[in-house]
Chain A
Amino acid sequence: MTAITDEFSSAPVLPKWIAPVLLLAFAYGVVPLIGSSYLFEAILLPFLALSLAGVGLNILTGYAGQVSLGSAAFMAAGAFAAYNFYLRVEGLPLIGSIVLAGIVAAAIGIVFGLPSLRLKGFYLAVSTLAAQFFVQWALTKFSWFSNDSASGVIDAPKLLISGFAFDGAVGRYLFALTVVSILTFLAYRLVSSQTGRNFIAIRDNETAARIIGIPVLKTKLLAFAISSFIIGVAGVIWAFAYLRTVEPDGFDLDRSFQILFIIIIGGLASIRGAFFGAALIVVFPLALSRLGGFLLGDVFDSGVLDMSQRIVLGALIILFLILEPDGLVALWDRVRRRLLFAWQST
């Protein structure tokens, strides 16, 4: 072990904050100038929303060890709550309704997290499905949530913050980027704090965590609340900035699985992992359809595309679980270390 660390310690170690700051500078300063509207609409906006959802789920599943199959329900709760707060509360600014929406999602998260106090593992995973079905049912059943719109599909409000409208693809991108950056930063602080360590302790050994004095029940519910808050806000981004409509159908079980896949592929218990995973999940179907169309031509219609996407995605999951259980993050770190080392030795 020591040999390995010694080997690399001679490589120049940059301060930890350099990479995120450079990345943010690039995302704010360069991307809006060079990106096409396709890049924003089809790639960056869904990427940002799903990354944030992945960060949220990673706190619950990766750090606190509670598997949830109901993430899309919390996204839906967030999106609809934000819509209704903004619609019904006079004079409430958008930021206020987004925060309130996160709190609503967190409250729902606590309710559906209650079974975690008595159930573990598969039993808990299955019981989180209750959230998925109940929330989706409630949102379709009671037209009050969608303001009695006949189709159940509603236009999201304009992204207006203290008089400044985040219009157009670039504007919505900047809005999403800002929200995602802030919450990701907070999540990063959280997981390296006492609370974050408590999550990990509960994941690794619940009995031991209890012995050293961690309030297990409270901490578990806190994990559910924080995770649902973040996922709820991700739902707002998804509906308001990416789709610009709010509809329950988009938040189905497949979406929940998608978010789970993001953190498996990206890397469990890693904030960066959610971004890696989301990037792959968003880009891969687009790439596959391009590649399929190029190689097979007309045979590759939308039905075939859909099915082959499912097959390749499933295969990817299994491959990652077998070959790289720590996800793309581990892969990335290894490649970077190797490159640095190679660069050092020349």
Chain B
Amino acid sequence: MIADFDYQFFIEVLVGGLLSGVMYSLVAIGFVLIYKTSGVLNFAQGALLLFAALTFVSLVERGVPFALALVATFAIMVAIGIAIERTVLRPLTNKPPITLFMATLGLSYIIEGAAQLIWGTQVHGLDLGIEDVPLEVGGVLISQFDIFAAVVAAGMVLLLSLFFRYTRIGLSFRAVADDQFAALAVGLRLPLIWATVWAAAGLVALVAGLLWGARLGVQFSLSLVVLKALPVLVLGGFDSILGAIVGGLLIGASEKLAEVYIGDYFGGGIESWFAYVVALVFLLIRPSGLFGQKLVERV
């Protein structure tokens, strides 16, 4: 078994895994944005992703040009962000984080239901104009689409980091994340900041929704990609964008490798839970995660 170990195949699996990990990271970043600024684990991120992708596809199918559909969907996501801040977050200010989490669980039901009530439940194909032809790099086959996704993810992370570092509103995000009361005391407008954060999360959901939608088809199961992002978050820490990236890569790679090399011993199909086990084992050894702040609710 060891003697005829196929390195090229191994690397192919590894690279494929890393690139699919990027797709997980894309979803995870949306969670991190909201957690960083409001301390809420936003379970509705998957529903937002579904809503964004479904709205975009339905607009395009009704003859709206690509760019216009993109802008319109983003505008709708911003409106949803503001509506959520008004109706859900504001009345629940200063409630324990777990209450807010349960509220986002309810929110995800509302958004999923609304998305499908408005646009229907059928599966839509989504063509972003990128051919999914494998590319040969040094004898290793890599999906072109995956590379595109990785580039988009890298661009988004760069953009977000610049935004957090250099813009006034980005700075106030960090202030709110540090200490909500102090931020309020120096006169930062919490509602405005939260609405902006949710709009940013909506943008991330839109990008992730389009990439995942092009992969899987735009349909209800799209909202289940959150379940793929959660172990990434546990591993990387809920409050670190870098953690979301590295966690995504680790989870993606180990999941693919496990599926290929040890999956057969379990009878296959282990990807539904393997990521969780990786995250849990890691946390048992190092409870603060990869990059998470130590003071977060962990022993």
Contacts and interface: CB of A to CB of B under 8 A. Distances in A.
Contacts of B227: 129, 133, 253
B98 interface: yes
Nearest to B267: A141
Interface in A121-137: 121-123, 125-127, 129-130, 133-134, 136-137
B121 interface: yes
Given A121-B97, A127-B283, A308 B113 contact: yes
B105 A260 contact: yes
Interface string B226-242: 01001101100010000
B273 A137 contact: yes
Contacts of A321: 92, 95, 99, 102-103, 106
A316 B273 contact: no
Interface in B114-164: 114, 116-117, 121
Nearest to A133: B273
Contacts of B267: 141-142
A314 B287 contact: no
A133 B109 CA distance: 20
A16 interface: no
B63 interface: no
B270 interface: yes
B269 interface: yes
Interface in A61-107: 67
Query: Which of A115, A123, A136 is packed against the most chain B CB atoms within 10 Å?
Result: A123
Contacts of A310: 109-110, 112-113
A317 interface: yes
Contacts of B41: 122, 125-126
Nearest to B286: A118
B276 A129 contact: yes
Nearest to A134: B273
A236 B18 CA distance: 42
A73 to B, nearest CB: 10
A152 to B, nearest CB: 14
B266 A122 contact: no
B99 A325 contact: yes
The A interface, classified by DSSP as helix, strand, loop or mixed, is helix
Contacts of B114: 307, 311
A322 interface: yes
Nearest to B100: A321
A141 B121 CA distance: 29
B299 interface: yes
B270 A137 contact: yes
Query: Which of A120, A129, A321 is packed against the most chain B CB atoms within 10 Å?
Result: A321
B91 interface: yes
Contact of A129 (B109, B113, B230): B230
Contact of B230 (A117, A126, A311, A315): A126
Contacts of A121: 97-98, 297
A307 B106 contact: no
A119 B283 contact: yes
A264 to B, nearest CB: 6
B272 A137 contact: yes
A101 to B, nearest CB: 22
Contacts of A297: none
Contacts of A67: 98, 101
B199 interface: no
B192 interface: no
B2 interface: no
B3 interface: no
Contacts of B88: 318, 322
A321 B100 CA distance: 9
Interface string B78-103: 00000000011001100101110111
Contact of A317 (B106, B233, B234): B106
22 contacts: A67-B98, A115-B283, A118-B283, A118-B284, A118-B287, A122-B97, A123-B297, A126-B234, A127-B276, A130-B273, A261-B106, A303-B116, A310-B110, A314-B105, A315-B106, A318-B87, A318-B88, A318-B103, A321-B103, A321-B106, A322-B92, A325-B95
Interface of B: 41, 87-88, 91-92, 95, 97-99, 101-103, 105-114, 116-117, 121, 227, 230-231, 233-234, 238, 266-270, 272-273, 276-277, 279-280, 283-284, 287, 297-299
Interface of A: 67, 114-115, 117-123, 125-127, 129-130, 133-134, 136-137, 141-142, 253, 257, 260-261, 264, 303-304, 307-311, 313-318, 321-322, 325
Given A134-B276, A307-B113, A316-B106, 19 more contacts: A122-B98, A126-B276, A127-B276, A137-B269, A137-B270, A137-B273, A141-B266, A260-B102, A261-B106, A307-B116, A310-B110, A311-B110, A314-B106, A314-B107, A314-B109, A314-B113, A317-B102, A318-B87, A321-B95
User: Top 6 A-B pairs ranked by shortest CB distance?
Assistant: A314-B109, A317-B106, A310-B113, A130-B276, A314-B110, A311-B113
